[in-house]
Amino acid sequence: MPKKVNKVVLAYSGGLDTSVILKWLQEEYKCEVITLTCDLGQEEELSGVEEKALKTGASKVYIEDLREEFARDFIFPMLRAGAIYEGRYLLGTSIARPLIAKKLVEVAVREGADAIAHGATGKGNDQVRFELTVMSLAPELSVIAPWRIWKLKSRTDLNNFAEKHGIPLSSGAKHYSMDRNMLHLSFESGELEDPWEEAGPGSYILSVPPEKAPDKAEYVEIEFAAGNPVALNGEKLSPAALITALNGIGGRNGVGRLDMVENRYVGMKARGVYETPGGSILYAAHRDLEGICLDREVMHLRDSLIPRYATAIYNGFWYSPERDCLQAFMDKSQEKVSGVVRVKLYKGNILPVGRKSPYSLFRKDLATFERDDVYNQADAYGFIHLNGLRIQGYGRRR
């Protein structure tokens, strides 16, 4: 913790934690505080952020539109890698942190700041993600993490501090800890701290409950080029626009909901509720297209590396040599993953039902159950016999 700072750049969302931190930094360090708010697709949540930051005491406010950069340079590389943490989580919060931290560094350097500050708690993963990025890009900057040093110990304490200092809060901020961007919306705290209690209706915003989704299935077609989605239902779209459009489609069909207990990097288990409607559709469609475009051994090798890649992102090592090396392999594997996938959405389900590609490795003349003049079924005898030699020897020892 720095003893003296003159100027701090704060990652500011306008929510409970960062609003309190802004005022606390001024009182604790008697320093100038510049806020940075990153537009990663939060949509209406950015309304009034600049006014609130200035009213709370910020000397200067940055609001950066990072939607296209976020989708193109962070979400899409992760999608190409098929990244998923502990078999279910699509890393919506994790992947946003290195970009936010990168922009914090850029603003700090531009403004001649001594330090950056963030609202991540000492119990969570985000503190690691922010600070590892700063260490990678600008190790000379100090980092202030109020949750690790101040006397406020709970969300109740924060609410009391905010009320004392006249900081306005939304009703949602008082109940849940939420993080939103174009890839997902997450919820923690409240009733979610009891893993047995079902999440309340307020913990879902982007999607309707599956039981309230339309009774008729909806079909979408997604085109990919070298592993990246480039068009939706025949219309070419920018990365951010494509994800946003799929969020609307997926949301009305009740897809992309997840309630899980995960293993945090700091060592504890934590429960979160996640909504990732568009991202879930993209993940399912991309994975399906790989079925006809990827060689078997390449796919199996890539799949063996997904846990390492996903864990690197989850644990905050986006700017690391291992992630760079893994990304190079992932991208090489995606060079021919181009084509179109047709997906059926129905009451929370994502069902790929058709796929085609100019680079398809699927051969109907080999796979057919009708007569063919390509595959000699008698060849299977020698194949099985040779593969069985090792098993025969092992079996005799039983």
Q: What is the pLDDT of residues 195-230, one digit of tens each?
A: 999 999 888 899 999 999 999 999 999 999 999 999
What is the tens place of the pLDDT at every residue in 267-308? 999 999 999 999 999 999 999 999 999 999 999 999 999 999
Residue 332, CA atoms < 13 Å, CB-side half-sphere: 9
φ and ψ at residue 264, rounded to 5 degrees:
-75, 155
pTM of the predicted model, to two decimals? 0.94
Instruction: Please give the average per-residue pLDDT across 158-177, as a whole number.
Output: 78
Amino acid, res. 201: P
Of the candidate ranges 110-114, 166-170, 225-229, 302-306, the one whose mean pLDDT is the lowest:
166-170
The winner for highest mean pLDDT among 41-45, 58-62, 168-172 is 58-62
15 or 28, greater pLDDT? 28
Q: What is the average per-residue pLDDT within 232-260?
A: 98
Q: What integer pLDDT is reported at residue 368 of this predicted model?
A: 87
Question: Can you tell me the mean pLDDT for 82-110?
Answer: 98
Per-residue pLDDT for 173 more than 50? Answer: no
Q: Which two tokens stand for residue 10?
A: 């704060």
Mean pLDDT, the chain, whole residue set: 94
Q: Which of 177, 186, 207, 338 is catalytic?
A: 177
Catalytic-residue membership of 65? no
The whole-number average pLDDT for the span 229-238 is 98
Domains annotated on the chain, with CATH: 7-81+92-175 (3.40.50.620), 185-356 (3.90.1260.10)
Instruction: Report which of 55, 22, 25 is spatially closest to residue 36, judged by C-alpha positions.
Output: 22
* pLDDT-based confidence at residue 170 (cuts at 50, 70, 90): low
Q: What's residue 75's pLDDT?
A: 98
Which pLDDT belongs to residue 156?
A: 86
Please report the pLDDT score of residue 46 as a whole number.
81
Q: Give me the mean pLDDT over the 124-139 stretch.
A: 97
Q: What's the rounded mean pLDDT across residues 327-350?
A: 98
Q: pLDDT-based confidence at 2, cuts 50/70/90?
A: low
User: Mean pLDDT over residues 177-196, rounded?
Assistant: 93
Closest CA to 269 of 367, 158, 193: 193
Q: What is the mean pLDDT of residues 359-383?
A: 91
Please name the residue ranges forming H helices in the chain: 16-29, 49-56, 67-70, 76-80, 92-111, 126-137, 155-164, 171-175, 239-252, 277-293, 296-314, 321-333, 364-367, 379-396
- pLDDT at 353 exceeding the cut of 90: yes
Catalytic residue selected from 67, 97, 129, 180: 97
Least confident of 54-68, 171-185, 217-231, 256-270: 171-185
Q: Is 126 a catalytic residue?
A: yes
Among 114, 126, 179, 288, which one carries the catalytic annotation? 126
CA–CA distance, 84 with 64 (Å, rounded to integer): 28
**CA terminus-to-terminus distance, the chain:** 63
Q: Is the model's pLDDT at 398 over the cut of 80? A: no
Give whole-number Cα distances, 89 to 146, 182, 260, in Å: 28, 15, 8
User: Which comes out higher in pLDDT, residue 172 or 155?
Assistant: 155
Interval 55-62 mean pLDDT: 96
pLDDT of res. 172: 47
pLDDT(10) > 70: yes
Choice among 71-85, 94-108, 127-141, 167-181 with the minimum mean pLDDT: 167-181
Conformation bin of residue 289: beta by default, left when phi > 0, alpha when psi is -120 to 50: alpha
